[in-house]
Structure 1
């Protein structure tokens, strides 16, 4: 093996090790237990915080066909990164399923952050597509009403007609700009 290949192998090994640290940090997000009672309690707390801080989200909740509430997502990365969180799908105020949110990414990044998010499924069709999928992925077409910097609720006529609306709030950490694009949601059994 030439000297250049040795440097490349060491660099690749170091990068892979740092990436695994980021993913491991993302998995240790404080939820700690898939117990459905604990997840439901955290979902209730998260919804209360969201409704108190952004009162307009109550109206969205009432108009939605269902909501996926992920109380805590931990995202960390250094070149490669990942995020993980668990939550509950609520329809008419009752939990019907539990989900995990997982995200992986690569690029110029460093740091860690934690945040909560709620997906409002505004149509029965959007909710049905989500529930039928074996792993639904959030795309760039997701509309945001509350995003990172703690902005007040901003919803216009275009936002309110979107099939899926996201509220991302409660950010803490060293990374800026939480986004849900590329997050994959998979049903879990607590």
Structure 2
């Protein structure tokens, strides 16, 4: 059995978080570049998953996170930046960050969107200093046929999370424990 020293564990965690920042433009995205990424993501959703149009039309706001980068080796981390849009107009920019610990190794990138289905859910998100996805959210999963897995239970939820476009060598993509913070790009 191999033991990892405390220093090794800290270095591994720091390296994992550093890798999570690679390739997603930390510190290099201005508002225009971030908006362009969000536009591309929205267009991709609409063309690849036509059912998203109905979800977008019912939502009072959508937080688009076009590129999340996640890496882990024991300790893991993920980071990305995106924009909150109301009536398809950007009103704020946000970062999303998460940390994890457990049996994990690898890296991946993915995109996600949070559809705020009620005014109170959107207001709570915008008012919070840092907001974490909670138990009141439902996940809608895209299938191979281009549909979004929403049903009556999902569409009545205050927040619907859609995760898609996973690429890499790590199992799963979860938003639980992800903290969203308002930023200035």
Q: TM-score, normalised by structure 1?
A: 0.91
Runs of at least 5 residues in structure 1 that lack an aligned partner in the other structure: 1-6
Q: 1:50 pairs with 31, 45, 51, which one?
A: 45
Deviation per residue, 1:61-93 (Å, 9 max, x gap): 110000000000001011111000000000001
Instruction: Decide whether the 8 Å contact of 2:49 with 2:142 is kept in 1.
Output: no
Relative to structure 1, the CA distance from residue 133 to residue 51 in structure 2 (aligned partners, 3 Å threshold; closer, same or farther) is same
Q: Residues of 2 paired with 1:30 and 1:70: CA distance?
A: 11
Q: 1:75 pairs with 70, 75, 80, which one?
A: 70
Runs of at least 5 residues in structure 2 that lack an aligned partner in the other structure: none
Q: Residues of 1 paired with 2:172 and 2:179: CA distance?
A: 18
Q: Residues of 1 paired with 2:35 and 2:180: CA distance?
A: 17
Relative to structure 1, the CA distance from residue 42 to residue 179 in structure 2 (aligned partners, 3 Å threshold; closer, same or farther) is same
Instruction: Decide whether the 8 Å contact of 1:148 with 1:168 is kept in 2.
Output: no
Q: Residues of 1 paired with 2:133 and 2:16: CA distance?
A: 21
Which residue of structure 2 aligns with residue 3 of structure 1? none
Which residue of structure 2 aligns with residue 36 of structure 1? 31
Question: What is the CA distance between 1:150 and its match in structure 2?
Answer: 8.9
Higher radius of gyration, 1 or 2: 1
Relative to structure 1, the CA distance from residue 179 to residue 149 in structure 2 (aligned partners, 3 Å threshold; closer, same or farther) is farther
Question: What is the CA distance between 1:31 and its match in structure 2?
Answer: 2.3
Deviation per residue, 1:94-150 (Å, 9 max, x gap): 000000000011111111110000000000010000000000001244211126989
Which residue of structure 2 aligns with residue 15 of structure 1? 9
Instruction: Decide whether the 8 Å contact of 1:102 with 1:185 is kept in 2.
Output: yes
Q: Do residues 144 (structure 1) and 112 (structure 2) align?
A: no
| RMSD across aligned positions (CA) | 1.8
4+ residue runs over 3 A deviation: 147-152
Q: Do residues 160 (structure 1) and 141 (structure 2) align?
A: no
Instruction: Decide whether the 8 Å contact of 1:148 with 1:171 is kept in 2.
Output: no
